[in-house]
Structure 1
């Protein structure tokens, strides 16, 4: 066994090791709010998969008005009532969960990957590379996230995929700063110097030694940003820059309900999509806070 391998096994105990250890799971599962967040997210996943597999998109986006009563209040037949086009709000709200999870996952995934890449490069190569990357991130962070997303969508054009691209650019600086800070701390450890001295190439140092030790803050940031991505996608759709008309998006349903429903006393048109949106964001926030406390008990003790 080489000296590098011994050094790695002795010192390189990162996030994956802590994740497999019982203290992390016991800390997480002992947090009632985190468990509540897990239950909410799991329920949302079940609803999203069910909607994708068993709900016909033509059933919720009909080309003509259906046979349902127009603007019917919640009842045993229509649990969430119907909207101004006689469409069942319950079915559309369930399918909206699939759209929220789909585009939220893509947004967070792309921003996480790009943020990790930029953050690790900035920390490892330092000097000019660090200055160029982080000053660019600082410029993007100087703008309010929703305002910057609106500006980017105005440039790219409306549509859910354009919203995903815009929000990816907005969220990337957050991940880059978190990863850079964690990577700089890892680079101070002696085993990294030993690995470099033994002739390990940059990709091995970055992805075998530094990245695993930065996954804890990345995981927390991703979980918290997931709820933020869902609500930002809904906000942009609410403002008319996201989902196309007729799409069962929570944000678009809220917009239609506020514009056409609340003024007429049809509260259910926007209430149920808004309720699902709020519960979803709450679930991710609860889970993110619980994971942060479990991975870094010192932060929890400082808060307490």
Structure 2
């Protein structure tokens, strides 16, 4: 009897988010949202560009200055180039480097470090949020008050303060942003977990002798994946923007790195004020399109996973 009761009690928890992904309603709702499909197309395109840049572009040639060669510096976009199929479609920068190739490689850096930032902050936020909700009392107060302190600061300002402590560099900027984003995920997961803990099958599972790790992993975690997935998708675009902002301010990518933020900074410094608009336009365009794609997909996933939100908007 206890075995049948336990399996019966486990079904609602196992049927939440994962089953909705397998079932057609979620996919049909998501694919019926045209803006979400556009966002998904943009993200897939950027991923393909990132993979192409990582596999086929020479990072050394992209990062090193080419002054003193036959390639002109700050050349405008066009088809005229030193060799076939190497025409500097987006022009060249102040160091005579091909902005086209640097912009493509910037997609790889944005996806790579954005994934690391969001992935690690999501894992940390899920762990802290579930633990705070499940154990409550002192544990909840200590964790959530710490999160509140971090949330009290503007995200970019807190990231700047942390990078000033850690030092400049892309990896140090990633660590700073992980600390900045973790409280957001922890608060979202805690709220979702508290709702799950109100269900009777959680009490029944605990009464049957299930260990805490089993309750957390098999029953609470699956029911918090829906909001955390939307939050992760939306924060992916924000992470790319913040990494670019830190690089723009000189706290992220260092000189020569084909980061969109650093390219924007150098373009404004060396080109925009003198009419060399292409030096900052193309990196900024790729950055804006990528962030737009994640925002559109995140909104579509939110509507598909929570129809009440869509009905409220309609």
Which TM class, normalised by the smaller chain length? Answer: over 0.9
User: Measured at CA, do residues 239 and 11 of structure 1 come closer, stay the same or move farther in structure 2, by a change above 3 Å?
Assistant: closer
Aligned to 2:222: 212
Which residues of 2 match residues 8-87 of structure 1 at below 5 A? 8-10=10-12, 12-62=14-64, 64-65=66-67, 66-76=69-79, 77-87=87-97
Distance in 1 of aligned mates of 2:12 and 2:293 = 37
When normalised by structure 2's length, the TM-score is 0.95
Which residues of 2 match residues 196-211 of structure 1 at below 5 A? 196-211=206-221
Aligned to 1:287: 297
Cα offsets for 1:33-70 (capped at 9, x unmatched): 00000000000000000000000111201255243111
Distance in 2 of aligned mates of 1:55 and 1:18 = 40
When normalised by structure 1's length, the TM-score is 0.98
Number of residues paired by the alignment?
304
What are the ranges of 5 or more consecutive residues in structure 2 without an aligned counterpart? 80-86
Do 2:77 and 2:89's aligned partners in 1 also have CA atoms closer than 8 Å?
A: yes
- Secondary structure of 1:153's counterpart equals helix
Aligned to 2:123: 113
| Segments ≥4 residues shifted beyond 3 Å | none
Cα offsets for 1:60-106 (capped at 9, x unmatched): 01255243111110102221000111100000000000000000000
Do 1:67 and 1:86's aligned partners in 2 also have CA atoms closer than 8 Å?
A: no
Do 1:258 and 1:270's aligned partners in 2 also have CA atoms closer than 8 Å?
A: yes
Give the root-mean-square deviation of aligned CA atoms: 1.0
User: Measured at CA, do residues 10 and 159 of structure 1 come closer, stay the same or move farther in structure 2, by a change above 3 Å?
Assistant: closer
1:297 is matched with which residue: 286, 307, 310? 307
Report whether the alignment pairs 1:181 with 2:181: no
